[in-house]
C-alpha cells in the first residue's frame, strides 16, 4: 500500500534535539560542590545513570518536579534540598544544554517544505521556557509535553494529543526520537511512522544524523 504524503514531523527533545552540556556528571558535581558535597563528574554520571534505571517506571516520572527531587537525592546519596533546587533551576536554562549541530537546519528545511513541525516530549514545566531560552521555540507549530497531557510516551495519549494539535491523521505524521520504546513503538502503536535516531551509532539501521532525514522520508 502506498504511503500517504507526510504532512507533519514531530521530534523528541532530549537526545534528539539537544543534550546536557558539558554533561550531567559535570553539572551535578559542580553544583554539589557548592553545597558541601565533594564528588567527581564521573561518579555523578555513574550515580545518575544508576538512579535513572532504578527510579524510571511507567506513569508520570520526568513530568513531575517531585520525581526529579527523588532522582537527585538518590544520585547524591543524601537529601539536600538546596542542592536539588539549584540543579532543577540550572537545567531549566540554556547554559546546561547544547543543541545538536544538525538541528536548526533540519527544522528550517521542514518549515520550508510546508510541513507541520512539532515536539512530542516527556518533560516537565521547564520545557517551554527552555525552548524559548535556547532559541528553538520559533521553529515549532505545536509543542506536546507530558506534564500538560498527563501521560508520558509511549502512552498513546501523547501522540493523539500531538496529532490533534497538528490537525493531521496518524498516517500523515512521522515522529523522530532516540528511544526505541518511547518514541518508535509508542508512535507506531497509534499508526504513525517512526524513525529511531541513534547518534552514537550502536543501533543497527537507525538514523545517525538528522541531515539524512529526508532520504528516510522518500
Tens of pLDDT, residues 131-151: 999 999 999 999 999 999 999
pLDDT at 3: 80
Domain-ending residue, one of 42, 62, 96: 96
pLDDT at 201: 85
Query: Does 203 fall in a domain?
Result: yes
pLDDT at 204: 87
What pTM was computed for the model? 0.96
- CATH of residue 40's domain is 1.10.150.720
pLDDT at 14: 98
Give the model confidence (pLDDT) of 40-89 as tens digits. 999 999 999 999 999 999 999 999 999 999 999 999 999 999 999 999 99
- Same domain, residue pair 206 and 105: yes
- CATH of residue 146's domain is 3.40.50.1000
> How far apart are alpha carbons 34 and 117 in whole angstroms?
40
Domain-ending residue, one of 41, 71, 96: 96
Domain-ending residue, one of 96, 116, 150: 96
Question: Are the beta carbons of 39 and 25 closer than 8 angstroms?
Answer: no
Query: Does 2 fall in a domain?
Result: no
pLDDT at 17: 98
pLDDT at 1: 59
pLDDT at 2 over 90: no
pLDDT at 32 over 90: yes
- Same domain, residue pair 114 and 77: no
Query: Does 3 fall in a domain?
Result: no
pLDDT at 4 over 70: yes
Query: Does 77 fall in a domain?
Result: yes
Query: Does 47 fall in a domain?
Result: yes
pLDDT at 37: 97
Query: What is the extent of the structural domain holding 32?
Result: 20-96
How many separate domains does the chain show? 2
- Same domain, residue pair 86 and 109: no
Query: Does 1 fall in a domain?
Result: no
- Same domain, residue pair 132 and 181: yes
Q: What is the average pLDDT across 163-181?
A: 97
- Same domain, residue pair 31 and 76: yes
Amino acid at each position: 500500500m502506498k504511503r500517504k504524503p507526510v504532512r507533519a514531523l514531530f521530534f523528541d527533545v532530549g537526545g534528539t534535539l539537544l543534550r546536557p552540556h558539558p554533561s550531567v556528571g559535570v553539572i551535578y558535581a559542580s553544583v554539589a560542590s557548592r553545597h558541601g558535597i565533594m564528588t567527581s563528574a564521573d561518579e555523578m554520571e555513574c550515580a545518575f545513570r544508576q538512579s535513572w534505571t532504578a527510579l524510571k517506571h511507567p506513569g508520570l516520572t520526568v513530568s513531575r518536579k517531585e520525581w526529579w527531587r527523588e532522582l537527585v537525592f538518590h544520585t547524591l546519596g543524601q537529601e539536600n534540598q538546596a542542592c536539588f533546587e539549584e540543579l532543577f533551576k540550572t537545567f531549566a536554562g540554556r547554559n546546561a544544554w547544547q543543541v545538536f549541530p544538525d538541528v536548526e537546519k533540519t527544522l528550517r528545511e521542514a518549515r520550508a517544505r510546508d510541513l507541520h513541525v512539532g515536539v512530542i516530549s516527556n518533560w516537565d514545566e521547564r520545557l517551554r521556557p527552555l525552548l524559548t531560552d535556547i532559541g528553538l521555540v520559533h521553529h515549532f507549530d505545536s509543542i506536546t509535553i507530558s506534564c500538560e497531557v498527563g501521560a508520558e510516551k509511549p502512552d498513546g495519549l501523547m501522540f493523539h494529543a500531538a496529532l490533534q494539535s497538528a490537525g493531521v491523521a496518524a498516517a500523515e505524521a512521522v515522529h523522530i526520537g532516540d528511544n526505541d520504546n518511547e518514541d518508535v513503538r509508542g508512535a507506531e502503536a497509534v499508526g504513525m511512522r517512526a524513525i529511531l535516531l541513534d547518534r552514537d551509532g550502536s543501533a543497527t539501521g537507525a538514523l545517525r544524523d538528522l541531515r539524512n532525514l529526508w532520504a528516510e522520508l522518500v
